[in-house]
Amino acid sequence: MDLTDGVMTLTINRPDKRNAIDRAVLDGLEAGLVRARREEEIRVVVLRGAGGYFSAGIDLPFAMSVPESRLSFMRRVGDVAIAIHRLPVPSISVIEGGAYGLACNMALACDLTVAADDAVLCEVFTKLNLSLDGGGAWLLPRIVGLKKAKELALLADKIPAHEAERLGLVNCVVPAGELEGQVKEWTSRLCSASATALSLTKGMLNDAYALSFEQAIEEESRSQTINSTAAGSRAVIEGALGKGH
C-alpha cells in the first residue's frame, strides 16, 4: 500500500505465485479500501499487481483449505469486491500479464481500466468447475450485454487486451512501456477535479440500472444542488463560462 500525492496504490504482491489472492492479500485489500473510504486526502485508488502481472485469481490451495465455512469465506471475498465497486473515490485497475477469475472481476469492478497490449483477461471459473464470483455475474452483463457475458463466462476463453478494449472490458490498451504514463495522466486529471463532483457522478452511474428515469433525474437534481453550492464551485463555473465552456 502506497499513498503519494492523493493516489493510493494497492499492489497485490505475490509475484512468485503470479499474485494469487490468499488471506494476506484479502487482508491488505480490505485495510486499504477501508482507509480509502475514511481519509479525505485519498483522491484516487489504483489497483495493480507486482512484477508485471495483475493476478492469477484466488489461490486455490488456500481457498480449498480455509477453516471457516465456505459460504462465510465467499461472503468475505464478495465484501472486498463490493468495497472496490462502492469506493467513494475513482478507482483504476492496471492489467499487466493476466487477470484471471476473481482478479479479473476485481479489475472490472474498478471505474477505469488500462491494460498492456500483451495482457489477457479470463473468466476462468468453469474450467475449474466453479461459477462466477467477485461480482462477475453483475458486472459482465452490464459491460458487454447478456449474450456476450454468457459466452465469456460459460466458455471461459482468454480475452486478449485489444479484444477486451473492443468489448468495453477495459478503457484503453497501451504498450507495456506506456502504462505508467497513462496511469499518471488519469490520476493527475482525477486529483485535479472536484472530489464531490466525482463521487456523486460515480454513485449515480453505479445506481443507474436500479433507478427509474424519474428517480435518476431526482438524484441528478440533488447532486447538482450539492455541487453548485460547494465551496469554490462558483469560481470554477464562472471561469468556465468566461472561457466559453
Q: How many structural domains comprise the chain?
A: 2
Q: Residue 241: pLDDT band by 50, 70, 90 thresholds?
A: very low
Q: What is the pLDDT of residues 12-64, one digit of tens each?
A: 999 999 999 999 999 999 999 999 999 999 999 999 999 999 999 999 999 88
Q: Residue 218: pLDDT band by 50, 70, 90 thresholds?
A: very high
SS3 116: strand
Last residue of a domain, which of 176, 191, 206? 191
Are residues 198 and 77 located together in one domain of the fold? no
**DSSP label at 93?**
E
| pLDDT value of residue 145 | 96
Are residues 181 and 87 located together in one domain of the fold? yes
| pLDDT value of residue 1 | 75
- Name the more confident of 62 and 240: 62
Q: Is the confidence at residue 240, as pLDDT, over 60? A: no
Are residues 171 and 211 located together in one domain of the fold? no
Are residues 136 and 236 located together in one domain of the fold? no
Q: What is the extent of the structural domain holding 230?
A: 194-242
Among residues 55, 30, 56, 60, which one has the least CA distance to residue 45? 30
Are residues 177 and 201 located together in one domain of the fold? no
Are residues 178 and 213 located together in one domain of the fold? no
Are residues 142 and 223 located together in one domain of the fold? no
Among residues 99, 120, 87, 124, which one has the least CA distance to residue 48? 99
Last residue of a domain, which of 149, 172, 191? 191
- For the chain, strand residue ranges (E) read 2-4, 7-12, 44-49, 91-95, 98-100, 112-116, 120-122, 158-160, 172-174
Are residues 7 and 88 located together in one domain of the fold? yes
Q: What is the pLDDT of residues 94-122, one digit of tens each?
A: 999 999 999 999 999 999 999 999 999 99
CATH of residue 25:
3.90.226.10
Are residues 103 and 187 located together in one domain of the fold? yes
d(CA 104, CA 7): 22
Q: Residue 165: pLDDT band by 50, 70, 90 thresholds?
A: very high
Last residue of a domain, which of 155, 176, 191? 191
| pLDDT value of residue 238 | 52
- Most confident residue range from 69-73, 234-238, 239-243: 69-73
Are residues 23 and 47 located together in one domain of the fold? yes
Instruction: Give the angle subtended at the CA of 125 by the CAs of 92 and 52, to the nearest 5°.
Output: 40
Are residues 208 and 131 located together in one domain of the fold? no
Q: Residue 234: pLDDT band by 50, 70, 90 thresholds?
A: low
Q: Is the confidence at residue 75, as pLDDT, over 90? A: yes
Are residues 54 and 138 located together in one domain of the fold? yes
